[in-house]
A and B are shown apart, each in its own frame.
Chain A
């Protein structure tokens, strides 16, 4: 599969007034394949949110290149097209909803793109059905729960018919239920619509649902692989200030104590199945 978003030797630092610029990324390379579901894991300050902002030209690297579908984010005239292709969902749902009615908010993106009114109507209805918010289309956003608001934000992005969605800790402010709903929606978009997903999080259980996990620490890539591969390196993850999913952690501890568990274990179901077999 070809790369949809590509970081080539990217260095980025934030300017701080009256002080040395703070380097966030140094000689960073990453390629996101089209249709993939990639989770970026990292502790606070690991540079993972910066990666998100570089994806659609909100931030421009000081050196190196970020290309989206072959378009460089450095070129001003590409930006609108890039932002149409790469939708973005942020952490705080309140600060990304623009309109006072759900369906008007979903329409905001297509309206900016100058889509025909009838076509906007169709896309808005479809997007709201896709995220399961169609029944609440006339509601006022501030009366919705966090998970519902975040799904409205996702609908607003998919109404622009992007090829890729970047989600920057979309569930950090949500309760467990809202977290589950958002994750389910994102998985559906990836599976059914083939939308490339870049999911930035610090929740292990969410990262475990991705096809590929990239672990970042201090602006570098620490680990990169399938969730099963990555979570075997529990020591490296802990050193980066991250936890391993509980089932994986327990299985690794048991293995070290000589319990003959096979393969790498990711979910509670897998672990309990193996333990059951061993005990019977």
Chain B
């Protein structure tokens, strides 16, 4: 059944990371991405690797969850690794046949890149595992609020994201219902070639669109009835508050940044 789908990939647990302010988590994730691209050698990369590992341990999200989010990326990691192995020609040659040669420099660059990508994926999934989607959209709304000066309605954008998230499960249920209704009338979705199967989806998509518009219409009525009139003068029940944990985490990340800069200077750059 599709009814037990969870929106986003929030993993329920009690941890410091879960309790952190979504804004800080978002900022730290961006900061992490910046720092990891600053890493120039294995020593500085090690700092970021340890930071990733510690963050994951503290979050109490089981490791298999991270493996799950890593799985679709594995081909990309392998392809980049392979390209690095064959194209980077540094250090001593280990193997060579025909036009291909493998060097120690190639191997270490491949390994470096793989670790970098893995850390990137892990930390960004950590953000989505420990933060409820609505909190994320809230955080985006608040962080981007300076853009209001440029007459960009950040509130409207965030509301649209929230509503989109809210209606994903509803629309999935609807697809299931329409598909069953069409199957009952003899529609065939499973057989035939790709193009035929795509064509068979049309009788599902058209009712889905019609119903989505009807829902949107009714929802806008309901929101008007509940006094919605845009972001102006609107308060929020859940206030976002930075706590000591948030500042401690920021401190750790800034220390890592300093560590990376120092290690980059003291040891030879390899990239």
Residue numbers of A with Cβ under 8 A of B are: 56, 58, 80, 83-84, 87-88, 90, 92, 94-101, 103-104, 107-117, 120-121, 124, 140-143, 156-157, 160
**A100, A104, A111 — most chain B CB neighbours (10 Å):** A100
Nearest-CB distance from B158 to chain A (Å)? Answer: 12
Nearest-CB distance from A111 to chain B (Å)? Answer: 6
Known: A83-B227, A90-B221, A100-B7. 7 other contacts (CB 8 A): A56-B225, A88-B225, A94-B215, A101-B134, A112-B229, A117-B236, A142-B169
Residues of A within 8 A of B173 (CB): 142
Are A140 and B6 closer than 8 Å at their CB atoms?
yes
Residues of A within 8 A of B226 (CB): 83, 87-88, 98, 108-109, 112, 156-157, 160
Nearest-CB distance from B146 to chain A (Å)? Answer: 22
Are A97 and B166 closer than 8 Å at their CB atoms?
yes
Q: Identify whether the interface residues of A are mostly helix, strand, loop, or mixed.
A: helix
Quick check: is B68 within 8 A (CB to CB) of the other chain?
no
A111-B234, A140-B7 known; A100-B133 Cβ under 8 A? yes
Instruction: Show 9 A/B contacts (Cβ-Cβ < 8 Å), sorted by A.
Output: A88-B222, A90-B218, A100-B162, A110-B237, A111-B237, A112-B226, A112-B227, A121-B237, A143-B4
Nearest-CB distance from B41 to chain A (Å)? Answer: 44
Are A95 and B219 closer than 8 Å at their CB atoms?
yes
Nearest-CB distance from A154 to chain B (Å)? Answer: 12
Residues of A within 8 A of B170 (CB): 94, 142
Residues of B within 8 A of A90 (CB): 218, 221-222
Residues of A within 8 A of B225 (CB): 56, 58, 83, 87-88
Residues of A within 8 A of B163 (CB): 98
Quick check: is B228 within 8 A (CB to CB) of the other chain?
yes
B211-224, CB under 8 A of A: which get 1 and which 0? 00001001101111
Give Cα A160 to B223, complex, Å: 13
**A98, A108, A142 — most chain B CB neighbours (10 Å):** A142
Are A111 and B162 closer than 8 Å at their CB atoms?
no
Quick check: is B235 within 8 A (CB to CB) of the other chain?
yes
Quick check: is B92 within 8 A (CB to CB) of the other chain?
no
Quick check: is B191 within 8 A (CB to CB) of the other chain?
no
Quick check: is B238 within 8 A (CB to CB) of the other chain?
yes
Q: Report the nearest B residue to A83, measured CB to CB.
A: B227
**B3, B227, B234 — most chain A CB neighbours (10 Å):** B227
- The 10 tightest CB contacts between A and B, nearest first, are A96-B222, A95-B218, A107-B237, A88-B225, A120-B237, A142-B169, A112-B227, A109-B226, A114-B233, A112-B228
Q: Report the nearest A residue to B166, measured CB to CB.
A: A100
Give Cα A65 to B248, complex, Å: 61
Q: Which residues in chain B, 144-187, are within 8 Å of chain A measured between CB atoms? A: 162-163, 165-166, 169-170, 173
Give Cα A124 to B238, complex, Å: 11
A56-B225, A112-B226 known; A99-B236 Cβ under 8 A? no
Give Cα A87 to B224, complex, Å: 11
